[in-house]
Amino acid sequence: MLKDMKMASVRLMQRAGVFERASASRWRRERLLILCYHAVSIADEHEWRPNLCMSPALLRARFEAIRRGGFQVLPLDQAVKRLYKNDLPPRSVVLTFDDGGYDFYKQAAPILREFGYPATVYQTTFYSDYPKPVFRTASSYLLWKCREQILPADSILGIAQPVDLHTEAARGRVTAGLFARCDGENLSGEQRNELLQRLAKLLGLDYSAFEASRLLQLMRPQEIAEMSAEGFDIQLHTHQHRTPLDEQLFRREISDNQKRISEICGTRPTHFCYPSGHYEMAFLPWLEKGGVVSATTCDPGLADRESHPLLLPRFIDTSGQPLLMFEAWLSGVGQWVSARRKAKSALSGQRPAMAEY
């Protein structure tokens, strides 16, 4: 009901020309909209996780809206510098893609090329060097693919009773058990992959075909190097997609990630994105010591000169976001109508699911 009322008022504002006036305003000119994308579907991933995956057609529609509205897409480094110098061009936008999946290479890059837009990829590197499906997301996806089935009991996977996979809750219980075991026993990438293969077999799926599809895999070093050589900006997202609370371990995640990206691309990455949007104030000096000059969160908002450079807000664009709201965010109106929420993890002190791995 509230959502309907909000949409109705946003629609009224659009019809009354408020979007256009906001877009052209000095207020908007002093602000930077950093858009956050995750995966662009190779197959049906957007039906599985509409909040993380978007179809290529929808991404193209978003870029058309950016072009239609006269918005200027800037490279991240330039945009951040100009933000703090109060030198942004009108209607400035930055495009960021988290994780560096193979889908970026296969699906997002061709669309970016078509529009001539620069983009930053926040690249994790562990699964780039270990070219297998990312365990957590892949196990969840395979269970969803087989949601009409009953998963038989299996002692190796630790499944005591057959599980009806119809509901998300039931599938979530299976993955929670698998993840707890991986973390508890500190299983290696190979051991996790063996579990994934076993799960696929139990579900009657062809694991080899799944692996060959490159679904839910990261870009390999050669692909990252190609993207970088073409001009896409490869930046930091930790080596293993995690933010340990221990300073040494945290800084190691950053330095391992920096080292691999430097080796692959011949660049020195200094921009960072918090995995799963989770941050703690303690991380800020640790990032500074690692030479990081900007960091983006998943807190919704437009960045302005008052924003801390290591806590830059972003708008997470998802499949469920109506075009009207996307356009409201481009203009800046989206920030006015959305109650600003801090990331739940930062407020409650609860850490989100540690990693997608």
List contacts with Zn ion (CB under 5 A). Answer: 98-99, 275
Residue with Cβ nearer Zn ion (253 or 327): 253
DSSP for residue 347: H
Residues 6+ apart with CB under 8 A from 349: none
Say how many C-beta atoms besides its own lie within 10 A of residue 258's C-beta. 22
Contact 52, 38 (CB under 8 A): yes
Q: Taking the complex as a whole, how short is the minimal distance between the CB of residue 115 and Zn ion, in angstroms?
A: 24
Q: What are phi and psi of 317, to 5 degrees?
A: -90, 130
Task: Give the integer Cα–Cα distance in Å for 300 and 332.
Answer: 11
Residue with Cβ nearer Zn ion (223 or 356): 356
Q: Taking the complex as a whole, how short is the minimal distance between the CB of residue 147 and Zn ion, in angstroms?
A: 25
Q: Taking the complex as a whole, how short is the minimal distance between the CB of residue 313 and Zn ion, in angstroms?
A: 16
Q: Taking the complex as a whole, how short is the minimal distance between the CB of residue 357 and Zn ion, in angstroms?
A: 10
Q: Taking the complex as a whole, how short is the minimal distance between the CB of residue 19 and Zn ion, in angstroms?
A: 30
Residue with Cβ nearer Zn ion (133 or 332): 133
Q: Taking the complex as a whole, how short is the minimal distance between the CB of residue 98 and Zn ion, in angstroms?
A: 4
User: For residue 93, what is the enclosing H or E element?
Assistant: strand 92-99
3-state DSSP call for residue 68?
helix
Name the nearest CA neighbour of 312 among 235, 254, 242, 258: 235
CA–CA–CA angle 53, 58, 62 (5° rounding)? 110
Which residue is nearest to Zn ion, using beta carbons? 98
Residues 6+ apart with CB under 8 A from 94: 32, 33, 34, 35, 73, 74, 75, 76, 79, 120
Q: Taking the complex as a whole, how short is the minimal distance between the CB of residue 300 and Zn ion, in angstroms?
A: 17
Residue with Cβ nearer Zn ion (80 or 134): 134
Say how many C-beta atoms besides its own lie within 10 A of residue 246's C-beta. 9
Residue with Cβ nearer Zn ion (317 or 327): 317
